[in-house]
Amino acid sequence: MVYLKRFDFPSGEAEENFFFGQTMTCYDSYYPFAVLPHGCGLERLDFEEITILCGGNGSGKSTALNAIAGKLAAARDARYNRTEFFETYLQMCAAEQNHAARPAEIRIITSDDVFDFILNLRAMNEGVDDGRDDLMEEYRRGKYAGFRFRSLKDYDQLKRVSAARRQTMSRYIRRFSPENVRERSNGESAFLYFTEKIRDDGLYLLDEPENSLSPQRQLALAEFVQNMARFFGCQIIMATHSPFLLSLHGAKIYNLDENPAAVRRWTELPCVRVYHDFFAGHGKDF
């Protein structure tokens, strides 16, 4: 499904007119101005079900996604580089949406979102571990300290004291402590985050989702994204330089390393050629 058909960024001329009207000297940066039309000549994007922005560091991929997300009021969790000029920049942008089909959700997912999710899982597990230390002390008190049942208010304590006197410490702790969130690697947690956040009939902007993912997980994410677009009514706009994601079948790819940015096949992209040449040069080692 295509919910967002087209997005227009300020032209180089419009940005020059903006700068010409500025007399302020207290700002070191006018970001996001002077990034896209001057860096990669990008003034317009036309979208398919899966559209990918590819380019090296500083090419403007994240800037473009943030502008689209801001204009569409996309849901987001992590903070981002929002300067004094961001609202002015968004006013100069234009989005053409498909009014015949509205997405159930519009969301941007960045690396910061994924890293925050991973850190939150760790914090939850640390809290459970701290609780287990408290249970160990409770077990010792219940097993060896004196206890008298006086009223029904003491019933819960009686159960714990009885359990402590009948069970080993390990069984007692397993009975009364919550389970840890299953320990996962960073890559497993990151993949889980995408599968939980990307839902049916949504428009999703993904900023370098390959971060923290092994090649195998990147292939799994590519398959997941392909299926969500093909079978579950999603539109995906992604910034990446992962060859596994760039190879998505039917994806429209803009190469932001060119000026002006141009639509290319994934095998024509400079970042993919680097992988190709590297492995070709080491062919005999395989």
CATH number for the domain that contains residue 75:
3.40.50
* Shared-domain flag, residues 21 and 148: no
Residue 147 has pLDDT above 60, yes or no: no
Specify the higher pLDDT residue, 150 or 226.
Answer: 226
* Shared-domain flag, residues 13 and 142: no
The string of DSSP codes covering 56-100 is: -TTSSHHHHHHHHHHHTT-B-SS-----TTHHHHHHT-EEEE-TT
| Distance in angstroms (rounded) separating the CA atoms of residues 11 and 17 | 10
* Shared-domain flag, residues 219 and 106: yes
Per-residue confidence (pLDDT) for residue 238, from 0 to 100: 98
* Tokens read off for 250: 């039917």
* Tokens read off for 49: 């079900």
Residue 259 belongs to domain spanning: 4-113+185-285
- Report the domain count for the chain: 2
| Distance in angstroms (rounded) separating the CA atoms of residues 272 and 278 | 10
Find the helix packing angle between 215-231 and 186-197, rounded to 10°: 10
Per-residue confidence (pLDDT) for residue 128, from 0 to 100: 46
Specify the higher pLDDT residue, 182 or 237.
Answer: 237
Per-residue confidence (pLDDT) for residue 112, from 0 to 100: 86
Q: How many helices (H) and strands (E) does the chain have?
A: 11, 9
Residue-wise pLDDT tens digits, 46-96: 999 999 999 988 888 999 999 999 999 999 987 766 777 889 899 999 999
* Shared-domain flag, residues 24 and 107: yes
Percent of the residues in the chain that have a pLDDT greater than 90, as a whole number? 51
Domain termination residue (choose one: 155, 176, 197): 176
Domain termination residue (choose one: 176, 202, 226): 176
* Shared-domain flag, residues 105 and 190: yes
* Tokens read off for 161: 């004291």
Per-residue confidence (pLDDT) for residue 85, from 0 to 100: 84
**3-class secondary-structure state, position 237:** strand
Per-residue confidence (pLDDT) for residue 248, from 0 to 100: 97
Beta sheet of 262-263, edge-to-edge order: 105-109, 202-207, 235-239, 50-54, 252-255, 262-263
Q: What is the pTM of this model?
A: 0.77
* Shared-domain flag, residues 224 and 85: yes
Per-residue confidence (pLDDT) for residue 171, from 0 to 100: 62
* Shared-domain flag, residues 190 and 264: yes
* Shared-domain flag, residues 37 and 16: yes
Domain termination residue (choose one: 133, 155, 176): 176
* Shared-domain flag, residues 171 and 265: no
Query: Taking the CA atoms of the chain, what radius of gyration do you get in angstroms?
Result: 26
Per-residue confidence (pLDDT) for residue 17, from 0 to 100: 80
* Shared-domain flag, residues 91 and 197: yes
**With contact defined as beta carbons under 8 Å apart, do 197 and 107 qualify?**
yes
Residue-wise pLDDT tens digits, 151-210: 555 556 655 666 656 566 556 555 655 554 445 667 788 888 899 999 999 999 999 999
Residue-wise pLDDT tens digits, 241-253: 999 999 999 999 9
* Shared-domain flag, residues 120 and 243: no
| Distance in angstroms (rounded) separating the CA atoms of residues 60 and 239 | 9
* Shared-domain flag, residues 77 and 132: no
Residue 120 has pLDDT above 90, yes or no: no
